[in-house]
């Protein structure tokens, strides 16, 4: 019994003498390494495209019709696919697409195209492929939400909307139309108030 107690005491006395072998006294240097994220270009607002194939923002109606007739991705039927919106004084061109494009819409104001919208067929094209293509070309979007991804500069807004629509907007024209609409609404409100004041 005495021998056992002496042996245990001896172990406790010897243990502190044994050096602790850490990474430092074994000559191992500690370092941290962070795997960098994949390189993605930063957005250059100047490179935003205003064009899809031979169709582009600012295009006149006759040029738009000619380009749609020539393009094999569209089943454009000429003037049957063109309508005038008298309230907005705008022209709308709506046509069926082939292959990856299901439908395409073009809005014109003052005779020039200011919106191009392409609804893609989700059976043969997926959102991820379109999104990653845009990121490689333009960098990260300025706005990313569950409903859309947006790239824009002072003149152009390009977006991918869910389920899968790619839209090009001439911001200069669009903002002007919004402002005109706002002014018109204010005028209508004033007229209404003046009419009510006549009672």
Question: Residue 15 and residue 6: Cα distance in Å, rounded?
Answer: 14
Size of the chain in residues:
199
13 located within any domain: no
Categorize the per-residue pLDDT at 6 as very low, low, confident or very high, splitting at 50, 70 and 90: very low
- Sequence-distant (6+) residues with CB within 8 A of 194 are none
Question: Residue 84 and residue 94: Cα distance in Å, rounded?
Answer: 11
68 located within any domain: yes
Domain with 100 in it: 51-170
153 located within any domain: yes
Q: Phi and psi of 48, rounded to 5°? A: -60, 125
Q: What is the mean pLDDT of the chain?
A: 80
Which tokens belong to 63?
């040029």
Which tokens belong to 59?
């295009």
Asked whether the predicted pLDDT for residue 10 surpasses 50, the reply is no
The pTM of the whole model exceeds 0.75: no
The number of domains in the chain is 1
29 located within any domain: no
187 located within any domain: no
24 located within any domain: no
2 located within any domain: no
73 located within any domain: yes
């Amino acid at each position: 019994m005495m021998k056992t107690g002496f042996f245990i005491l001896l172990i406790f006395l010897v243990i502190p003498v044994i050096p602790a072998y850490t990474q430092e006294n074994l000559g191992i240097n500690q370092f941290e390494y962070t795997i960098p994220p994949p390189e993605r270009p930063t957005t250059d607002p100047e490179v935003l495209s205003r064009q899809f194939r031979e169709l582009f923002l600012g295009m006149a109606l006759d040029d738009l019709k000619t380009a749609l007739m020539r393009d094999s991705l569209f089943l454009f039927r000429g003037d049957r696919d063109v309508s005038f919106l008298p309230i907005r004084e705008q022209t709308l061109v709506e046509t069926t697409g082939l292959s990856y494009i299901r439908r395409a819409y073009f809005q014109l104001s003052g005779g020039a195209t200011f919106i191009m919208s392409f609804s893609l067929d989700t059976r043969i094209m997926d959102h991820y492929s379109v999104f990653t293509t845009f990121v490689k070309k333009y960098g990260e979007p300025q706005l990313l939400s569950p409903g859309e991804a947006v790239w824009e500069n002072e003149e152009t807004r390009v977006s991918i909307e869910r389920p899968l629509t790619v839209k090009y907007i001439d911001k200069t024209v669009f903002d002007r139309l919004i402002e005109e609409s706002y002014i018109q609404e204010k005028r209508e409100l004033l007229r209404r108030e003046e009419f009510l004041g006549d009672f």
